[in-house]
Structure 1
């Protein structure tokens, strides 16, 4: 599928993104059968498979597992009310810190927060946002009884086929839960700046079939042990369907990155160690005579950066990193997002019509 992300991978997906905050009106009393291929029909198929393989008893056990996980995890999920719309968040610790997406908080500093299980609205303020990873931390002014910190899982143990539940406030419907599976791991996704996105390129994302809609962003992707394994952030759209939602394709920021960013923000008020690789260049996409992208022209090279150390200069056109072809600035960013600081990569570039290859030790963003 050729797609665009509303709001792509060790293989690159070019998918448009649905921003996760929302302000919508709904018609009450309306329902219709789920269309084939939708997230709802995928959920039905999953349940049917469970019945076929385990019988009625197995289905009841699975149902009880779902209910137990929801009872454990939902009290740690909140709805965040910003003036531009609604989003979701996850209680990070017992001091009232809540982690969410940077695109949910936007430019605002204060918020109203409601626990998914109900209660009065609570006031909260922004601690810091890190748009480069689309994460932010806010803090409740007062932590009421009954608000509990979520349990966080291990990104290394997230595997394709695991059942997961997405919890949040899609379309402003608080306490909503959808179910699906982990469809893939290690995706690299670039979100646009339009439609509320931050323009971030995020690596190692968890792809899931659990339905993610506007308002789910910043919420919790939870495994059957009741552990948060990701923060739902993006939903894919299909440009061949007029940009409409591509059912069953959503993405969550892995819990490892959530912890890396949130811990630093809580401790120092900012992110000083991103854990993300950088080449140390700024550039622009080069087009050929047929307006096809052919590489990234280096506009500037950071002093003491990886590119400078490898001898790359302004005016060079980068066309590849290791075995990956680089034709656009987005492709360059996505390839670096899946790498680590200190990693050595071969950089192919064109200078004065001749292609050269150098090895660079990547720095940190």
Structure 2
């Protein structure tokens, strides 16, 4: 916001995706990280109607082609898909070219990309560990370029990122962080000590439905899921979501004398991927592709990360015995 002298640029190196990250040996201090990512995160404004209803959020520079990644909920009401992107006190027009409510991700393309913008290097979300230090960069409450720090509080945390009727569909397995997130941080970057993108900030926990702001529990969509979705949005403007072909609820099963949490299969779609593979009503799914499943939300969030046609090994408890079942994921007709 222009208070004080601007930080000096940190030494950077090119990542494999063309973005910049901290050079080896730069120490990874947060001052250097902030300087490195300053030109890779933008503010997004969405105009309201005559009755009001405008919104604001953040976005991450994805590539050199003018693509900005943000949240679906930031741009879903953009008039005719048009938004304003703020860069260095200048306003640039952009168009939403694809948006995916189930993962709360969207892509905006700039009409003209300023030369100052730099794609943000992408890290490896699978390398994150609970306790790792991270920083959130975005536009909270309209305060562009804000940086807050914290740690990874939990991984694979299933969250509903929509509201109302969208709650059931918009479930992803998120990174939980203590870095302060507030309204306006949505769509911004969560970065590691190397200044690499590890997640797209998406949601904050609230008390009693209050929107008062940060309480130390924020959530970000992992960069690997983001890449999976954004690649499709850029190429086609749409996303093909994987389908298991079951409806599920939270359940338990006894294994080796111990009650084990999982997602209990309530119905199986006739002719669907699950039925063809041999999953049955009453099975309790406890693992998918090596990821522990402890609830129906866990299962939904995990399936969100699979690709259509991908072969996935599910572990289910049936009659006290673990069965491994390989399912070829189908395509959801409803997402």
Contact 1:168 1:217 in 2 (8 A): yes
In structure 2, the CA distance between the partners of 1:198 and 1:142, relative to structure 1 (3 Å rule), is farther
Aligned match of 2:60: 90
Once the two structures are superposed, what CA deviation does each residue of 1:303-355 show, in whole Å capped at 9, x if it has no partner? 3422344264xxx5x4621378988x646535655888422324468xxxx99
Aligned partner (choices 231, 245, 262) of residue 280 of structure 1: 245
Aligned partner (choices 265, 269, 274) of residue 301 of structure 1: 269
Aligned match of 2:300: 333
In structure 2, the CA distance between the partners of 1:263 and 1:331, relative to structure 1 (3 Å rule), is closer
Aligned match of 1:177: 147
Question: TM-score with structure 2 length normalisation?
Answer: 0.71
Aligned partner (choices 193, 201, 224) of residue 256 of structure 1: 224
Contact 1:238 1:245 in 2 (8 A): no
1:284 and 1:321 mapped to 2: Cα distance?
10
Aligned partner (choices 215, 233, 238) of residue 184 of structure 2: 215
Does the residue aligned with 1:171 lie in a helix, a strand or coil?
helix
**Where does the alignment leave 5 or more consecutive residues of structure 1 unmatched?**
1-60, 287-293
Equivalent pairs, count: 280
Aligned partner (choices 65, 69, 83) of residue 111 of structure 1: 83
1:198 and 1:172 mapped to 2: Cα distance?
29
Aligned match of 1:31: none
Residue range with higher mean Cα deviation, 131-140 or 302-311: 302-311
Aligned partner (choices 139, 143, 146) of residue 113 of structure 2: 143
Once the two structures are superposed, what CA deviation does each residue of 1:157-179 show, in whole Å capped at 9, x if it has no partner? 22222221111111222121111
Aligned match of 1:224: 193
2:219 and 2:202 mapped to 1: Cα distance?
6
In structure 2, the CA distance between the partners of 1:143 and 1:180, relative to structure 1 (3 Å rule), is same
1:155 and 1:330 mapped to 2: Cα distance?
20
Alignment of 1:34-183 (within 5 A): 65-83=29-47, 84-108=54-78, 109-115=81-87, 118-183=88-153
Once the two structures are superposed, what CA deviation does each residue of 1:8-57 show, in whole Å capped at 9, x if it has no partner? xxxxxxxxxxxxxxxxxxxxxxxxxxxxxxxxxxxxxxxxxxxxxxxxxx
Aligned match of 1:233: 202
Does the residue aligned with 1:247 lie in a helix, a strand or coil?
coil
Greater relative CO, 1 or 2 (CA 8 Å, sep 6+): 1
- Structure with the largest fraction of helix: 1
Once the two structures are superposed, what CA deviation does each residue of 1:114-168 show, in whole Å capped at 9, x if it has no partner? 12xx232111001111222111111001112212211111223222222211111
Does the residue aligned with 2:185 lie in a helix, a strand or coil?
coil
Contact 1:163 1:179 in 2 (8 A): yes
1:94 and 1:133 mapped to 2: Cα distance?
24
Question: TM-score with structure 1 length normalisation?
Answer: 0.66
2:142 and 2:167 mapped to 1: Cα distance?
18
1:284 and 1:252 mapped to 2: Cα distance?
25
**Where does the alignment leave 5 or more consecutive residues of structure 2 unmatched?**
1-25, 48-53, 252-262
Q: CA RMSD in A?
A: 3.5
